[in-house]
A and B are shown apart, each in its own frame.
Chain A
Amino acid sequence: MGYSLEVQQRFHSPQRVGEFAAGTPGLVTGEAEDRTLNVWVRVQVQVVGTVIRSVRYRVFGCPHMLAAAGWVAEALQGRESHTMRELDVHEMREILDAPVEKLGKLLVLEDALQACWQAHFVSAQAQKGS
Chain B
Amino acid sequence: MTKRTIYLDYAATTPVDPAVAAAMRECLEPDGNFANPSSSHSAGQRALGRVEEARAQIAARVSAPADTIWFTSGATESDNLAIQGAMLAHRDQGRHLITSRTEHKAVLDTAAAMEKQGFEVTYLVCDSDGLIAPEQVAAAIKDDTTLVSIMHVNNETGVVQDITAIGECCRSRAVLLHVDAAQSIGKVPVPLDQWAADLVALTAHKVYGPKGIGALYVRPGTKLAPLMYGGAQERGVRPGTLATHQIVGMGQAYELADTDREAPVLAAMRDRLWAGLSAIDGVRLNGHPTQRSPHVLNLVFPGVDGESLRLGIAEIAVSAGAACNATAPEASHVLSALGLSDTLAGSSQRFSVGRFTEPAEIDYTIERVTAEVARLRELAGGAPAWCTN
**Residues in A lying within 8 Å of B, measured CB to CB:** 1, 3, 8, 11-12, 14, 17-19, 33, 35-38, 40, 42, 58-63, 66, 99, 101-102, 104
Q: Separation in Å of the B335 CB from the closest CB of chain A? A: 14
Q: Does B361 contact A (CB under 8 A)?
A: no
- Residue among A14, A66, A102 with max Cβ neighbours from chain B (10 Å): A66
A14 touches B379 (CB 8 A): yes
> Nearest residue in A to B329 (C-beta to C-beta)?
A38
- The one of A3, A58, A102 in contact with B379, judged by C-beta atoms closer than 8 angstroms, is A58
> Which bucket holds chain B's interface residue count?
20 to 34
A60 touches B303 (CB 8 A): yes
Query: What are the 8 A-B residue pairs with the smallest beta carbon separation, nearest first?
Result: A60-B380, A101-B326, A101-B327, A60-B383, A62-B307, A38-B329, A63-B311, A60-B387
> Nearest residue in A to B383 (C-beta to C-beta)?
A60
| 23 sample A-B contacts, Cβ–Cβ < 8 Å, listed by A number | A1-B307, A1-B326, A3-B311, A18-B381, A35-B343, A35-B386, A38-B305, A38-B342, A40-B383, A40-B384, A58-B379, A58-B381, A58-B383, A59-B380, A60-B305, A60-B387, A62-B307, A62-B329, A63-B307, A63-B308, A66-B379, A99-B326, A102-B326
Q: Does B328 contact A (CB under 8 A)?
A: yes
Note all chain B residues with C-beta closer than 8 A to A59: 379-380
- The one of B325, B326, B380 in contact with A40, judged by C-beta atoms closer than 8 angstroms, is B380
B384 touches A33 (CB 8 A): yes
Task: Name the prevailing secondary structure of the A interface residues.
Answer: mixed
Note all chain B residues with C-beta closer than 8 A to A37: 328-329
**Residues in B lying within 8 Å of A, measured CB to CB:** 303, 305, 307-308, 311-312, 325-329, 342-343, 346, 378-384, 386-387
State A40–B328 Cα separation when bound (angstroms): 14
> Nearest residue in A to B307 (C-beta to C-beta)?
A62
Note all chain B residues with C-beta closer than 8 A to A66: 308, 379
State A58–B326 Cα separation when bound (angstroms): 22
> Nearest residue in A to B304 (C-beta to C-beta)?
A60
Note all chain A residues with C-beta closer than 8 A to B383: 40, 58, 60
> Nearest residue in B to A14 (C-beta to C-beta)?
B379
State A35–B312 Cα separation when bound (angstroms): 22
Q: Beyond the given A59-B379, A66-B308, could you list 20 further A-B residue pairs with CB under 8 A, ordered by the A residue number?
A: A11-B308, A35-B343, A36-B328, A38-B329, A38-B343, A40-B380, A40-B383, A40-B387, A42-B382, A58-B379, A59-B380, A60-B305, A60-B383, A61-B308, A62-B305, A62-B329, A63-B307, A63-B308, A101-B325, A102-B326
